[in-house]
Structure 1
């Protein structure tokens, strides 16, 4: 049963939001992914948000661009955590999305990650779920150790071949 709902307002958000799905898969977290427009199909959106908890969803990751109402509206109808992913926009570079998501009224919080930060949204969702799941917590520890090892390997490579050669390989 899915524990995380990944929502996006448009399929154009999929390249970004798929990063959340990939990380949830790496952590072994079941999820469902939907394209639902809060503006174009409000009845479908309301039904989804109101039924999510009863279907086992514990965290919603909602990506949205522009007016970016999807995460905030989820938070208004879903009691459990909502993580907003502001999507980069051509007109304002995603700052419009960011402001729309972080400027929620008192009482309706949305945890918000960086513009296009779907990977961090998945990690944050995993951390929320790990509060009561020790196996998932162990996977998060391993993940952080792997990140550290990647940086150590990059430093060793840089010192071995020099910055010019390193840049050529990037």
Structure 2
């Protein structure tokens, strides 16, 4: 969706649509990585080169840590020639709550038929094919949460704890423990 927005705002389908697309982009806050195609493609190429061993021996894993998306999830990349996992671990620890409508849209957009429709829309908008194919493997979680990385030699484990769903003070529940390498 972000790539389609970028293409439309750049004028791929005319000035009238460009103005409308910019209003939608600002209103819906479409600022995810793929909304910035050139830098996203450069990052994808760097990830591919590192994970395939073109820039020295391939590491045990390549992990991107990020946040500020108002929820948490883990996504794994499918990169040709990668010799190690490429993972994006996202955690917004103290987040502004997302309304139930946005949560439903987020979960719906992750379903394969909907994702295929979004990709078709992006293609119609003139957006290039995505440089990386990410698959959400864990999550999303929408509560306040905290993530920990445990490093043991070349082994990397992510743990995610979230606040008690009923708001009980003082408690965290572990919701994920995942090997990232």
Q: What TM-score comes out, normalization by structure 2 length?
A: 0.30
Which structure's residues are more often helix, by fraction?
1
Q: What TM-score comes out, normalization by structure 1 length?
A: 0.32
